[in-house]
Amino acid sequence: MNNYVIREKEHAFRIKVGTMPYKELNYLIYKKSRTGFKNFILDDVIGQRYIGAGMNYGIKIEVNGIPGQDVGVFNSGSTIVVNGNAQDGVGNTMNDGFIIVHGNVGDIPGHMMRNGKIFIRGSAGFRAGIMMKEYGRKKPVIIIGERVGDYLGEYMAGGRIIVLGYDLSEDESPVGHYIGSGMFGGTIWIRGNIAKNQLGKGSICKEVKDGELEEILPFIEEYAEIFNLSLDKILSLKFWKVTKLLGRPFGKLYVPSNKIGGELFPLHTNLKSPCSNACPIGIPNQQIIKKIRDGEIKEAYEIIDDYTPFRYTCCGLSCPRFCEQACTRNSINDPVPIAEISKKYAPKGKTNIREEQKDEKIAIIGGGPGGLAAAWHLARLGYKVDLFEKEKILGGKLTNNIPEEKVPKDAVDNEISRIKALKINFRMNKMIDLKNIRSMKEKYNAIILAIGLRKSKKIGFSGEDEAISSYYFMRSIRHNNLKNIQLFNKKVVIIGAGNVGMDVACESFKYGAKSVTVIDIKTPSAFINEIERAENLGAKIVYPRFIEKYENKKIYFKNDYPLDADVLIEAIGEEIEIDFSAYGIIISKGSFTTNIPGVYIIGDAASPGYIADAIADGREIAYYLHGNFRGLSEIKHIKSCAPVVDKQRINLVYFQNKGIYKDVLVDKCATCGTCIQCDICIENCPHDAVTRIKETFKVNLETCSGCGTCASLCPRGAITMIKKSDMFLEESSEGTKVETQADYISCKK
């Protein structure tokens, strides 16, 4: 039974929280907010932490009960009302929004808050407003209605703290000791009595003069109205103003967090995201999604085209989604739906040619995904390309062997038409005899063998020659040519419980099979969703089974009873049908080079893999040849040479599905490892050492202490602490600076 109901009159979503985990609670709020609900009422709250974490504008959350620590942490514009007391860390590091507490709060309310308002009707504990800051027009406000503990405004760098002591007598002080210790910005306003010995080191107190109160009067008026208090009573006592005395009184007392004698300094560097690292092609999905978010769809398509011509059919439809498996968001809920994004935002029409026409000519043998990818990139780089395909259609397994329901023909045709629009000479129905490869080399600067796998592997049992290969079976179905295979009312047995085996099982049922059994010698290697798809249609999967023989329409096992098998299909993979050594071609281990200079082998012929692996090979060989032909020692476009960002450095609480983008598909991406100029590093630098002009950051090494605050707070892990000797320095009147762009410097040789 659901523990939530809808209050129709208020159009509010009411949740009976009870023992619900905080992650589940926040995700439910986010999910319902995307369906139109903006008001949420939480009943029976019993200590759940992080309520409303990172919620954005337009969301209002009313809390009945006692929330746990850090209510409203990283608030980015929502309103949170607590009808009672709250624990420590209210509004921790909030960016904007409004938090109202109708009771008391614990320690460190407003810790590191940089904008927004926190109104507390009762009292607060120690260190209220510690490390508050302001940036430009962003000036946070905390109002505490009664008392506050010691160390109020400690290390305060900006903003306003107002303590009213509303129900206290004129002789009582609403504040503790060490007020404003180490403060170097902002203002603390105190109503009532205060003694000099209550001040902390580095702060000074003065009585508020006529007219000065106008600065905070609008906030006091709003506070009084919300809590139904007398404004006249509040204004009946004098106010004191606490500000910084000089600069940073404790600035020289702290040892930097970096241990190498202060030699490490921040550099803004784009690191490789986990999804990009997991992708065989190295597609930087985080950069693509950022462009889509910013409305730069054309620029997003340009990035995609630089990596693959098969964004829709491979990334969207046929890839195992290694990117989603590696997504950082898996640690809290679901990954970024990159496959769905790939289908919605797939380039259409002609692509841009990257470089001018060149003299070099390349032959590509094989028109599957690998060969087509190589042709695509080489043609865009300006090279002359002849592509030879022994069949009448292009696409390889994308066209011939994957079920229509998974990869529709129209989708493949659309992407192949983009490739055909380039200046590529397609030689269809052209079989190349490899014994002529050396003479052929005289006509071309390079030859790429992109020959796929067609020959079915064999196990070696008696009667195996009667088995049908899955390659032939799926190809026949894809081209509606299943004349020689009768499946209606037949018992089908499939050898091999991988993804292809599940495809064969599903297609067998479509053609009327009476029963389908999938066998394997080990645990099925197919993905869970593929297994479920086959089982939902009625397939039985049994393992381990060790085959002895196949005769008289029965398959016999060494370790179990026989099975009836009117039709036996082998789905154990394919192997290369060509013996390259017979033609004097020897493949270099771990490479696509051969013993013949200028002859290369890519794709399944070099190393069997997924379609994405073949596309990656095609791209890599294209840029490898480009580098050789142009005399370039380094080609940046092959794959990012940056290290992978540590997932522990990604602060996901910043990315709580805020709903600020029109397209929900791109809303979840944290752009791991990629700087998006959020300026959190600038706002939080204790020395104001970091500045930015457009996309270029500058760090003043004369004032930077190497404390690492910017690197630790960067939500995306895009700041790396490196040695000063590794930086590119420039001198200016303001001191030595390092100019850093969002590009990884270690690519430099």
Q: The tokens of 725 are what?
A: 């000797």
For residues 203-220, average pLDDT? 92
Question: How far is residue 541's CA from residue 520's CA, in Å, rounded to a whole number?
Answer: 8
Tens digit of each residue's pLDDT (9 = 90 or more) over 35-51:
888 899 999 999 999 99
**Domains of the chain, earliest start first:** 104-244 (2.160.20.60), 361-453+577-630 (3.50.50.60), 455-575 (3.50.50.60), 652-745 (3.30.70.20)
At residue 321's C-alpha, the angle toward residues 339 and 569, to 5°, is 110
Beta strands in 264-349 (DSSP E): 264-268
What is residue 301's predicted lDDT score, i.e. its pLDDT? Answer: 92
Using 50, 70 and 90 to split pLDDT, how confident is the model at 663?
low
CB atoms within 10 A of CB 414: 15
Report residue 570 CA to chain centroid gap: 38
Using 50, 70 and 90 to split pLDDT, how confident is the model at 249?
low
CA torsion 365-366-369-375 (nearest 10°) is 30
Return the higher-pLDDT residue of 28 and 245.
28
Question: How far is residue 367's CA from residue 193's CA, in Å, rounded to a whole number?
Answer: 85
At residue 458's C-alpha, the angle toward residues 483 and 605, to 5°, is 90
For residues 121-135, average pLDDT? 93
What is residue 649's predicted lDDT score, i.e. its pLDDT? Answer: 79
pLDDT surpassing 50 at residue 515 = yes
Return the higher-pLDDT residue of 608 and 160.
160
Return the higher-pLDDT residue of 91 and 454.
91
| Rg of the Cα atoms in the chain | 33
Of 130-134, 505-509, 733-737, least confident by mean pLDDT is 733-737
What is residue 746's predicted lDDT score, i.e. its pLDDT? Answer: 33
Of 370-374, 452-456, 536-540, least confident by mean pLDDT is 452-456
Of 103-112, 247-256, 324-333, 668-677, least confident by mean pLDDT is 247-256
Contacts for 290 with CB less than 8 Å, ≥ 6 apart: 669, 671, 674, 676
Closest CA relative to residue 140, chosen from 186, 102, 89: 186
Contacts for 461 with CB less than 8 Å, ≥ 6 apart: 547, 548, 549, 550
What is residue 245's predicted lDDT score, i.e. its pLDDT? Answer: 81
CB atoms within 10 A of CB 38: 16
Report residue 10 CA to chain centroid gap: 36
Q: The tokens of 673 are what?
A: 């490892």
What is residue 6's predicted lDDT score, i.e. its pLDDT? Answer: 46
Question: How far is residue 146's CA from residue 163's CA, in Å, rounded to a whole number?
Answer: 7
Question: How far is residue 23's CA from residue 668's CA, in Å, rounded to a whole number?
Answer: 15
- CA distances to 143, 403, 500 from 491, rounded to whole Å, are 77, 21, 18
Question: How far is residue 377's CA from residue 354's CA, in Å, rounded to a whole number?
Answer: 9
Find out whether 157 and 185 touch, Cβ atoms under 8 Å.
Answer: yes
Question: How far is residue 342's CA from residue 12's CA, in Å, rounded to a whole number?
Answer: 35
Q: The tokens of 161 are what?
A: 């703290």
For residues 353-362, average pLDDT? 88
Find out whether 449 and 601 touch, Cβ atoms under 8 Å.
Answer: yes
The residue behind tokens 């062997």 is 401
Return the higher-pLDDT residue of 570 and 741.
570
pLDDT surpassing 90 at residue 167 = yes
pLDDT surpassing 90 at residue 588 = no
Give the HSE-up count for residue 325: Cα atoms under 13 Å, Cβ half-sphere: 8
What is residue 633's predicted lDDT score, i.e. its pLDDT? Answer: 59
| DSSP one-letter code for 433 | P
Question: How far is residue 63's CA from residue 47's CA, in Å, rounded to a whole number?
Answer: 11
Find out whether 163 and 139 touch, Cβ atoms under 8 Å.
Answer: no
Task: Work out the mean pLDDT of the chain and round it to a whole number.
Answer: 85
SS3 for 686?
A: coil
Using 50, 70 and 90 to split pLDDT, how confident is the model at 259?
very low
For residues 11-33, average pLDDT? 89
Find out whether 166 and 232 touch, Cβ atoms under 8 Å.
Answer: no
Find out whether 571 and 496 touch, Cβ atoms under 8 Å.
Answer: yes
What is residue 140's predicted lDDT score, i.e. its pLDDT? Answer: 96
For residues 105-118, average pLDDT? 95
pLDDT surpassing 50 at residue 144 = yes
Closest CA relative to residue 200, chosen from 261, 154, 250: 154
Question: Between helices 285-293 and 297-305, what is the axis angle to 10°?
Answer: 160
Return the higher-pLDDT residue of 659 and 336.
336
pLDDT surpassing 60 at residue 339 = yes
What is residue 349's predicted lDDT score, i.e. its pLDDT? Answer: 86
SS3 for 335?
A: coil
pLDDT surpassing 50 at residue 741 = no
pLDDT surpassing 80 at residue 133 = yes
Closest CA relative to residue 715, chosen from 93, 91, 58, 137: 93
The residue behind tokens 């099982």 is 505
Give percent of the chain above pLDDT 70.
90
pLDDT surpassing 50 at residue 296 = yes
Q: For residues 193-202, b (16+ Cβ closer than 10 Å) or e, as one string?
A: bbeeebbbeb
SS3 for 699?
A: strand
For residues 103-132, average pLDDT? 95
What is residue 9's predicted lDDT score, i.e. its pLDDT? Answer: 44
For residues 591-598, average pLDDT? 84
Q: For residues 380-411, b (16+ Cβ closer than 10 Å) or e, as one string?
A: bbbbbbbbbbeeebbbbbbbbbbeeeebeeeb
The residue behind tokens 């337009």 is 58
Query: Which of 124-133, 432-441, 557-566, 651-660 is most confident?
Result: 124-133
Using 50, 70 and 90 to split pLDDT, how confident is the model at 662?
low
Question: How far is residue 114's CA from residue 537's CA, in Å, rounded to a whole number?
Answer: 56
Find out whether 562 and 554 touch, Cβ atoms under 8 Å.
Answer: yes
For residues 421-441, average pLDDT? 88
- Residue 544, preceding peptide bond in cis (omega within 30° of 0): yes
